[in-house]
Structure 1
Amino acid sequence: MTDTPQRERLEKPTLIYPFKSAPEPGKVQQIAPGVVWMRMPLPIALDHINVWGLEDDEGWAVVDTGMRTDETLAAWRELFATTTEQRPLTRIFGTHMHPDHIGMAGWLTRKFNCRLWMTRLEYLNCRVLTADTGREAPDDGVAFYRRAGWSEAALENYRARFGNFGKRIHALPESYRRIVDGELIRIGGNTWRVIVGTGHSPEHACLYCAELKLLISGDQVLPRISSNVSIHPTEPDADPMREWLESLAKLKREVPDDVLVLPSHNECFRGLHARLDYLGASQGRTMDRLRKTLKEPRRAVDVFAALFGRAIDESDAGLLNLATGESLACLNYLWHRGEVRRSLDGAGVAWYQMES
C-alpha cells in the first residue's frame, strides 16, 4: 500500500491542481487529448486509486486497474456500459505489483483478450506473493517481526493474516509483455517513455509523454502523501530508502518541471520538481530525528514517534506492518552507511544505536 503514518510537516511548496474535482467511480474525465481520468474505490483509509485511459489505435490502453473488490468490478462494468465510445481495451499497463494497482488486471486481460504490460520484477514478485495464499506464515517471517520488537499478540495476528495478498488480486495472466527503463512505447498518436524507479516497489514504471507534457507517476511521487518505503521479510538487509531517494533524483533529471503529473492517489498536479525537492528534504529531516533518537539503543518499534510523530497501536495490524517496514528501511539506511550498529539480544530482538 501507499500511505504511511504522518511525518513532521515542513512548509510545503505551492502545487497547482488544475481540476476542481475528481471523477466519480464509473465515470471518466478528460484531462488531455486522448487521455482520461478514472477513479476506483478502495476499502481502506486511502479510499481511492486513479486509473488512466490512453486512446490507442483500436481502442483504449489502461494504466493500473484497482483492487479486486465487488465495488471495483461494479465501477468497471458501469464504465463499459456508459462510455460513449464503445471500444475495447487494447492493453493493460501495471505500474507495479500492489493489489490496488494490479488487482483487476487478470480479469480485464481475459475479458478483452489483451496483454498485460509490466516490468519483469513487478510481474514476477506479484506471482510469488499471490502463491502464498493459503500458506502458513513462514518461520523466517515470524523471526523477522520478532527482531523488530513485535509482541506475541502482534506475531499471532501476523500468522492469522499471512497469505491475504493474493485475495485482492485476480489471477495474473500466464504471460505478459515486459517493459524496460527508457523504452519508448507508441500508444495511439503519442509516444510514452518508461521511467523505472525503485524503493516503493522493486521495479516501478512511470510513463512520460513529452508531446502531451504528462507524467503518469504511479506511487513514485504523490502530491499530498509520501509513498511507503519498507523492508520486507524476504530481504531483511535491503536498502530501499537509498533506492527511493535516488529515484526521486532520477525523476527530476529526466522529466521537465512543466508536466502535469497524473498520480495514483490524490489529484493531478503541477509542480513536480518542487514536490520532489520537498519529499527529499522531508526524508532528510526524518533521518535527523532518527539519529537523535538512536543515541540510546532502540528497537524498530521504538522509533515510530521519531519517524511519524506518534505511537502506533499494534491492534491496527495493517498500519503496524507499514510503520515497521518503513522504520526498518530508515534504520537499514543508516546501518548500511556505518552510522549505526545493530545487535541481537538473547530473545532475538535487534537493537540499533548510533556509532560513537
Structure 2
Amino acid sequence: MNALEAQLDYAFGETLPEIGATIEVAPGVRWLRMALPFALNHINLWLLEDSIETDNGTQKGWTIIDCGIANDATRSAWESIFATQLNGLPVLRILATHCHPDHIGNADWLCQRWQAPLWMSAGEYFFGRVLVAGMPGADGSAALPHFESHGMRDPDMVSKVGQRKSYFTDMVPSIPHAYHRLSDQQDVRIGNNKWRVITGFGHSPEHVSLYSPELNVLISGDMVLPRISTNVSVFAIEPESNPVQQYTDSLNKYRHLPASTLVLPAHGKPFRGLQTRIDQLQQHHQERLAEVVAACATPQSASDIVPVMFRRPLDAHQMTFALGEALAHLNKLWIDGVLTRRLSEDKIYRFQVK
C-alpha cells in the first residue's frame, strides 16, 4: 500500500467478492465485481434492496447500479448473481452512473432481461446514444485526426488507434430507447432509503453519484476512486474543453458529506476518508499542472507531455487516455492564460509559457 492509500481506511480490508457472489457492505447494499479486459481489470457494481408499488401491491426486488461491459463473461457472471444472490426476487430497475462502457455496456441487455427501466442523467444518456450511433465527431474514426493534431505520429500507435473504429460499440452494442431522468440534488427512494443525486463533471458529461444519509454511504462511481486518479480527457467532439477544471470543481460537491461516509467506488475497495481523498486528488492535479508548466518553457505538444505525466510504457488503449489527459492539463493552462497555443507548420498544436 502506498503512502496515499495508507491515509485511507479500507472498511473491509483486503476482502473482495468472488465473481458471481456478493458482500453486504451496508444494510440492503451488496457489492459485486466484474472482470474487465484492461490494465484496470475490474469494476465494482452494486445491488440495492428495493420495492415499488404496483396495482397488486408492493413488489420487492433489486436495483442494479452499473452494468459491466457487454461480453459473454460478464453476462455469465450476472446470471450467476441472478441465480444465487437475489433471494428469488426480480430486478426492478437499472441505474447507470455514466455512459462509459464498463458502466453501461450491459444496460440494454439487463433492461430487456428484467423488463426494467434504465435510470440515468440526461447528459449521460444522450451522449451514450450519440456514441452508440457512431455520429460524426463521436465515432471511432474521429479519434485519430484529433490525436494526430496533438502530436501522435508514431506509425505503430497511429495504426493501432486507427483500427479502433468500433471500440465503444464492441462493448456497448445498444442502449435502451427510453430512460428515466436523474437530476442533481434529486432524492431517489430505493427500498427503505433515500439517495441524493450528486452530479459531477470532467470525467464524463453528467456523472451521477448517490449519497444515502440514512446509511451514510456514497456510491461514487468514477468521481472518487481510492487508488488511482479519475481520467479527465479532451476528446475530438469537444476539443477545447476544460475537464481538469470541471473535475476538481466537482470534487468540492462531496466535501460537505460526513467524514465517516463509507465510499463505494467503481474501482478499488470501499473506504472511509472522503475529504482526505478529495485533498489528494486535487493536489495530484496541481502537481501535474506544475510539471506541465515547467515542461512548456519550450513549445510542447500533448504527445510531448505524455512522458512527463506518465512514466511507464503505454499500450494503445492507455495511450488514448494518457494523451487525452495531457491535453486536458494543457487546455486548462491555456484557458487560464498561463500558456499560449500555436498550430505549427506540421499541423500540430504546441503550447508554451507566455
TM over 0.5: yes
Q: Structure 2: how far apart are the matches of 1:133 and 1:71?
A: 29
How far is the alpha carbon of 1:306 from its aligned partner? 2.2
Residue 344 (structure 2) aligns with: 345
Q: Structure 1: how far apart are the matches of 2:214 and 2:160?
A: 49
Residue 270 (structure 2) aligns with: 268
Residue 8 (structure 2) aligns with: 15
Q: Structure 2: how far apart are the matches of 1:200 and 1:136?
A: 18
Do 2:140 and 2:168's aligned partners in 1 also have CA atoms closer than 8 Å?
no
Q: Structure 2: how far apart are the matches of 1:195 and 1:303?
A: 32
Which of 141, 164, 170 matches 1:161?
A: 164
Q: Structure 1: how far apart are the matches of 2:180 and 2:128?
A: 15
Pairing 1:217–2:220 present: yes
Secondary structure of 1:91's match? Answer: strand
Pairing 1:249–2:252 present: yes
Residue 95 (structure 2) aligns with: 93
Do 2:140 and 2:167's aligned partners in 1 also have CA atoms closer than 8 Å?
no
User: 1:186-205 maps to which residues of 2 (within 5 A)?
Assistant: 186-205=189-208
**Amino acid in structure 1 at the alignment position of 2:11:** P
Residue 289 (structure 2) aligns with: 287
User: 1:173-188 maps to which residues of 2 (within 5 A)?
Assistant: 173-188=176-191
Secondary structure of 1:182's match? Answer: coil
Aligned residues: 342
Q: Deviations over 1:22-42 (max 9, x none)?
A: 101100111111111111111
Pairing 1:80–2:79 present: no
**Amino acid in structure 2 at the alignment position of 1:323:** A
Do 1:133 and 1:166's aligned partners in 2 also have CA atoms closer than 8 Å?
no
Q: Structure 2: how far apart are the matches of 1:151 and 1:11?
A: 35
Do 1:92 and 1:105's aligned partners in 2 also have CA atoms closer than 8 Å?
yes
Do 1:304 and 1:312's aligned partners in 2 also have CA atoms closer than 8 Å?
no
Q: Structure 2: how far apart are the matches of 1:136 and 1:276?
A: 33
Which of 269, 276, 279 matches 1:277?
A: 279
Do 1:312 and 1:319's aligned partners in 2 also have CA atoms closer than 8 Å?
no
How far is the alpha carbon of 1:304 from its aligned partner? 1.8
**Please, which runs of 5 or more residues in structure 2 have no aligned partner?**
52-59
Q: Deviations over 1:155-198 (max 9, x none)?
A: 33322112220110141111000100000000111000000000
How far is the alpha carbon of 1:10 from its aligned partner? 7.1
Do 1:51 and 1:65's aligned partners in 2 also have CA atoms closer than 8 Å?
yes
Q: Structure 2: how far apart are the matches of 1:11 and 1:322?
A: 23
Q: Structure 2: how far apart are the matches of 1:353 and 1:168?
A: 38
Q: Structure 2: how far apart are the matches of 1:136 and 1:303?
A: 25
Q: 1:136 to 1:213 in 2, by over 3 A?
A: closer
Q: Structure 2: how far apart are the matches of 1:306 and 1:23?
A: 36
Q: Structure 2: how far apart are the matches of 1:171 and 1:39?
A: 22
Q: Percent identity?
A: 40
Secondary structure of 1:161's match? Answer: coil
Q: 1:133 to 1:72 in 2, by over 3 A?
A: farther
Secondary structure of 1:24's match? Answer: coil
Q: Deviations over 1:32-88 (max 9, x none)?
A: 111111111111111111111110012000110111111111101111112261100
Q: Deviations over 1:4-34 (max 9, x none)?
A: xxxxx87556111121311011001111111
**Please, which runs of 5 or more residues in structure 1 have no aligned partner?**
1-8
Residue 125 (structure 2) aligns with: 123
Q: Structure 2: how far apart are the matches of 1:189 and 1:225?
A: 33
Pairing 1:24–2:23 present: no
**Amino acid in structure 1 at the alignment position of 2:235:** H
Residue 304 (structure 2) aligns with: 302
Report runs of 4+ in structure 1 exceeding 4 Å deviation.
9-13, 133-138
